[in-house]
Structures are given as structure tokens and as C-alpha cells.
Structure 1
């Protein structure tokens, strides 16, 4: 009996070159398979819209002018702009506070993992790597945080939620009462004006010094937060956690960690 021919297994046209990388892209396979030629069943082809004529017939007087002539319906401009006109762009408005204390810009959504009392890890700034306590979200969308100052030296300040890592650790700050003046305008620095008689070289940049009101508010908030930390079940352990620095060792990746 004649030997039966073995069927050769045909390799697929598109296959993986490496993990997650295909030989052809989606658009290349779309062209190769001719999907653009196929029409859906029961779908009628769309009729092309009638094209508007660019010329119009006009009657012209005179025996030697032919009687009628085709003329452009819309004349071309005599002068053209030297530069292309830029169209309108969708510009994103940043967080801005105007003089009437209203916030203009896009919505200020807060991450679900961040709540009042959540312990955050700072990723930027002079206090990066430190653990802080989130107090609330301000009207501008920024977070109001504190160290507290007595534990890790972080004062009352604002921070963008993009530059923090939210942990599962939380402090019960329901009894903490924040003053109404702790808003965005509270953290604006007032520039000292030089006297009119002072020359260019006499103007010196003054070093920043916190006001007495700032120090008083810091002490008031810190005392309340420290009492809330002390009331926790693992208050001593939580205090040591806030005073520690977040650091990564070799072969440690933050996207694989659970905070």
C-alpha cells in the first residue's frame, strides 16, 4: 500500500518574537488579511454626496464674447498669509487661585487610597522618604500634611498627591480640629519690599522665617495628632514608623510592594 503523506503543520502568519512582541502589528494584520475589503452582511454602501461645482455659467454681453462663460463661483484671495494660522488647542488649566479665593481649573479628584489620617510617603522635596500624616485635602486639590514636627521634622505644608505613596496605615484623627485659616492662602509667602531709596546692590534676599502664628498653629496641630497617635493600640510602634525613612535596597521594586 502506498504510504500516506504526512500533513505539514503550517505556522501562523503572526507569532510572538518575544514576550509580548508580535511579528506584525494590528494595523499590519488588518491590511494583510484584507479586512478592509470585506463588507458587513446587509449593510448598504453609502452614497457619495454630490460634489459642488467650482464654476458657474454667466451670460456675457457682446457678439464676439460667446454669450456664456464659466466663472469661478468663489474667487481666490489676492494675498495669502505668510504664516499658517494656528487653530484652537484644548489647553489644560492648572490649579490657580484668584483674588476672590475661588479655584479655577479642572476637577480635583482624590485617590481612594488617601483619606484624612492616612500615613503617606513623600517622594519629592527636601523631606522625601519621610512618613507623614494626611490631614485633609485643600480647595486647590493639594494635601495638607504634617510629620508631626516633633517626630520627623516635617511641618504643616502642602503637597501634590502625585508625589506621595499611600500606605494602609492610618491614624484616627476624628478628634483633631483644624483651624479655618489653614487654607491655600495661609501658605503663601509674602515677599518683603525693599525701600524706594535702596539701590540695586542694597537689595538682599531675606531668609524665610516662620511667623509666630505659624509656630502656634504647628504646635496646636502637633499636640492633637500626637495624642491621636498615643491613643492607638500600637502607638509606640506607629511613632517609630513615622520617624523612619523609606529606602529601597537592591532588587526591591515599589510596584511589587504592598504598603
Structure 2
């Protein structure tokens, strides 16, 4: 025989109490960066195409950070990176205060609708082997890269061995313990 009465253990308070628990709404804002990630800090990229490369952090966007190689030194262009895939190196910082970085927003790095449509286009076997896909960069992107790289390279050249440090990639050898390393 089933008990149809509601037992007291299911009632957290009496219905005559008048107390109502209100849920607090969380406000979404710009995520805070780690304290070690500041503009001008040298970082190591941990994942993706440029994993192991050392880069210079330029600024924070809404949820990502903007970094550059500089391209002439280690081949890393202006790029958005998720801050969780980056380790900040302590000690050496590069002066990026003279750069105008207001142009580099989320829209600057997003793909245009034409390239998205091109990616969705069905590829037949004949098209796949006939076309050599070489990505053509905008001349404006190349000029933007040069405009950002010049002042950074000037400040890098003032510090001895920093150019060589940025051009070398980070890797772990057998027996290296990354949790004991100081970056």
C-alpha cells in the first residue's frame, strides 16, 4: 500500500511562512586574465599550429588575447589565442605601449562570409586534385603585421639574446618536470 501523504521531510518550510528564495542572476562580464598575463609579456603557446612558439602578448580581447611573434623572428602572425593555452614567462617584458592596438578587435580576426561559403562548397574529386589551394592574404593584413612588428623588433633588439630566445621553440625532454620549472 502506497503512502499518498506528503511527508515532512519533503517540505523545507511551511507554506504559511511567506519566505521566498530568490535566485541571484549572474552578470556576465569580461573574464579576468591571470595576473601574469599583461601586455608586453613573453608567452609560450601550448597548443595549435604554433605550439611551442614564444610570442609577445599585445592585448586582451573579450575572451581571448592577441599575440604576435613577431613574424620576422619566429613566423607567428598577429593572432587570437585562448589564454588557457598560454604560459607566461616571467622576467622579460617588451614595451608595447607605443603601439595603437585599437584596430584589433573581434571583428578584425573573424572570417568574412565569403570565405565561409567557400569552405561549405561541395568539393568533387576532380576539383580536389585540379585546384591548388593557396591562401592569398590581404595586403592590408601584411601592412598591419609590419606596422606592429617594427616597434616590437626595435625594443627586442635592445635586450641581448632576446631575438634568439624568441626564435627558439619550447619543448620538453625526457626527465623534464614542467611543474617544477620557472618560466
TM-score interval, smaller chain: 0.7 to 0.9
1:230-241 alignment runs, 5 A limit: 230-231=157-158, 235-241=159-165
Gaps of 5+ in 2: 1-10, 16-25
Pair 1:145 & 2:67 matched: yes
Task: Give 1:247's aligned residue.
Answer: 171
Task: Give 2:35's aligned residue.
Answer: 112
**What's the CA shift for 1:226?**
0.4
In structure 1, how many angstroms separate the alpha carbons of the residues matched to 2:83 and 2:48?
A: 13
Q: What are the Cα deviations for residues 24-81 of structure 1, in whole angstroms up to 9, with x where unaligned? A: xxxxxxxxxxxxxxxxxxxxxxxx99999xxxxxxxxxxxxxxxxxxxxxxxxxxxxx
In structure 1, how many angstroms separate the alpha carbons of the residues matched to 2:141 and 2:53?
A: 21
Q: What are the Cα deviations for residues 89-110 of structure 1, in whole angstroms up to 9, with x where unaligned? A: xxx9xxxxxxxxxxx9554110
Larger Rg: 1
TM-score by length of 2: 0.73
What is the root-mean-square deviation of aligned Cα atoms in Å? 3.1
**What's the CA shift for 1:257?**
0.7
In structure 2, how many angstroms separate the alpha carbons of the residues matched to 1:106 and 1:222?
A: 31
Higher RCO, 1 or 2 (CA under 8 Å, sep at least 6)?
2
Pair 1:224 & 2:151 matched: yes
Does the 8 Å CA contact 1:148/1:222 hold for their aligned counterparts? Answer: yes
Q: What are the Cα deviations for residues 170-200 of structure 1, in whole angstroms up to 9, with x where unaligned? A: 3332443124221111011223456xxx998
Does the 8 Å CA contact 1:171/1:229 hold for their aligned counterparts? Answer: no
Does the 8 Å CA contact 1:151/1:239 hold for their aligned counterparts? Answer: yes
Task: Give 1:178's aligned residue.
Answer: 100
Gaps of 5+ in 1: 1-47, 53-91, 93-103
> What SS does structure 2 have at the residue aligned with 1:135?
strand
Q: 1:125 to 1:200 in 2, by over 3 A?
A: closer
Pair 1:122 & 2:45 matched: yes
**What's the CA shift for 1:252?**
0.9
**Corresponding pairs, count:** 155
* Larger fraction in helix: 2
Equivalent of 2:55 in 125, 129, 132 = 132
TM-score by length of 1: 0.53
Equivalent of 2:140 in 190, 198, 213 = 213
**What's the CA shift for 1:209?**
2.5
**What's the CA shift for 1:167?**
0.7
